[in-house]
Structure 1
């Protein structure tokens, strides 16, 4: 039975990957959690790999794999220094990770994405825009970067201008771009988040 995932944009990325004739080897950077999106690609016959820097989220992913008798190959790893060889993957995605990383750190991650992708490989990334209702909330620690306290933990929220993203992606060719507003009710208040989504090709 198909396992539904909450990362809806990855269904669109899966369509692009399925239409590509390359060998189905994929990496998820930020692969932890109780319902890993890698399971979607596994069901479609992909050889899956994932890295996760949070031990808590990694344990949740491992519990999922045990419960579903599935080996998604999710290991501890830092996307700023991906523990795989050059040009190992044909497909790679990182969903919502730029939201909680400083811009300089995600820039390092993008360089690593480029390194481990084969020429012609596809990559999905998304970013939080400055038009969000939450922009400016918390302590500003950098341009568009705000530190908030959630459940007694410090959490970074990183917002990008459109032209900032384009500059960060110059190594890649953009083949898909979408800007969308997502409205949610949080604590009986309507909250709007703006996301920019990209599918990229390694030149």
Structure 2
């Protein structure tokens, strides 16, 4: 039975991956959580790998794998130093991880994404836009970077201007770009989230 995931843009990424004649081997950077998006690719016959730096999120992913009898190969790891050899993967994605990383750190991760991807391989990444509600709230710690208090916990949000991040796409070509603006009403309060989505190919 197909496991529905909330990371809707990854269905579009899967469609792009299915058109590429490379071995179906994929890496998720930031793969933890109670419903890992890697499960979508697993169900479509991909050889899956994931890295997750947070022990709590890694444990949630392992519980999911055990309960659903899926071996997604998610291990502890840092996307700024991916524990795999050069050009090991045909496909790679990092969904909503840049949201909570400093810009300098994610720039390092992009270099690693390029290193571990095969030539002609595809990469999906997304970023928070400055049009998001979280922009400008809390204590500013950098350009577009803010620390906020949510449910008595400190949360970091990183926002990008349109086209800002593209200067860091060394060796990649953009083949898909979308700006998504999502408006929701929860408990009579309106929220706006805005994302910049990219699919890149390694040249």
- TM-score, normalised to structure 2, is 0.97
Question: Following TM superposition, where does structure 1 have runs of at least 4 consecutive aligned residues deviating by more than 4 angstroms?
Answer: none
Question: Partners of 1:116 and 1:164 in 2: how far apart?
Answer: 24
Structure 1 pair 186–147 and aligned structure 2 pair: CA distance change class (3 A): farther
- Maintained 8 Å contact 2:111/2:170: no
Offset at 1:153? 2.6
Question: Partners of 2:10 and 2:44 in 1: how far apart?
Answer: 13
Aligned to 2:174: 174
Give the SS at the match of 1:133: coil
Question: Partners of 2:140 and 2:78 in 1: how far apart?
Answer: 24
Offset at 1:80? 0.6
Question: Partners of 1:25 and 1:107 in 2: how far apart?
Answer: 23
Offset at 1:104? 0.3
Aligned to 1:36: 36
Written as runs of structure 1 = structure 2, the 5 A alignment for 1:176-195 is 176-195=176-195
Aligned to 2:202: 202
Question: Partners of 2:164 and 2:170 in 1: how far apart?
Answer: 11
- Extract unaligned runs of 5+ from structure 2: none
Offset at 1:187? 4.4
Aligned to 2:161: 161
Q: Which range moved further: 21-30 or 128-137?
A: 128-137
Give the SS at the match of 2:114: helix
Superimposed CA distance per residue, residues 119-160 of structure 1 (whole angstroms, 9 cap, x where no aligned partner)? 111000001111112210011000000011223332110000
Superimposed CA distance per residue, residues 67-90 of structure 1 (whole angstroms, 9 cap, x where no aligned partner)? 011110000000010000011000
Offset at 1:96? 0.4
Question: Partners of 1:31 and 1:200 in 2: how far apart?
Answer: 19
1:136 and 2:165 are equivalent in the alignment: no
- Give the RMSD, CA atoms, in angstroms: 0.9
Superimposed CA distance per residue, residues 50-74 of structure 1 (whole angstroms, 9 cap, x where no aligned partner)? 0001100000000000001111000
Aligned to 2:83: 83
